Structure 1
Amino acid sequence: MTRLNVLLFVALVASGLYLVHVSYQARRLFTQVERAQAEERALDVAHEQLQLEKRTQATPLRVEKVARERLQMRTPTAAVTQYVQYEGAASAEHGARP
């Protein structure tokens, strides 16, 4: 009978230690999940800010302003427009053979 009591006592102690270990692991994993969710929220906020900045930078007025100032581009006029015509296309329009 005492052997059985000792065996049950050892099983009870082992079970208690295992329970403590499992509880510790669960708390540790829970804190990792909480940190990951906080990081996810921070990344979502940063992503939204970047999307807003992207939309702000890509407005047509800003693109035109940058094109004029930095790239020194200008609106095309008839005076600076050059038309290129393919020889085969010109003769095909007039019914001539190539």
Structure 2
Amino acid sequence: MNNRRMVIVVFLWVATLVSALGVVHTTQRSRALTAELVKAQKQRDELRYEQERLLLERGAWSAYSRIERVAREQLQMRAPASGERVIITEQ
């Protein structure tokens, strides 16, 4: 009977040790994943900010008044006079 108790005590001691190591491992993994999550959320926020900035910039670059100004100043374009217009009809 004494031998049997010793086996049970050793088994329980090993089970407790394995359980403790599992808790340590799980806690460490949880901390690592939490740090990774925070890093990913920060990157997401930076990308959202960049997207908003780019959308505003695209709107500014494609504004009709800007396109007209660039066409007049840099490309020396102008609206055709009525005598310069040609109407093409389908045949």
Counterpart of 1:39 in structure 2 is 43
Q: Deviations over 1:4-33 (max 9, x none)?
A: 101100000000001100111111111111
Give how far 1:70 is off.
3.0
Give how far 1:57 is off.
1.1
Select 1:58's aligned residue among 35, 55, 62.
62
State the SS of the aligned residue for 2:79. coil
Give RMSD over aligned pairs.
1.3
TM-score, structure 2 length as denominator?
0.87
Counterpart of 1:93 in structure 2 is none
| Unaligned residue ranges in structure 1 (runs of 5+) | 89-98
Q: Which protein has the bigger helix share? A: 2
Q: Deviations over 1:52-91 (max 9, x none)?
A: 11111111110101112333321122121112244x5xxx
| Unaligned residue ranges in structure 2 (runs of 5+) | none
Structure 2 Cα separation of the partners of residues 13 and 26 of structure 1: 20
TM superposition outliers: structure 1 runs of 4+ over 4 Å: none
Q: How many residue pairs were aligned?
A: 87
The letter for the 2-side match of 1:64 is: E
Q: Does 1:69 align with 2:77?
A: no
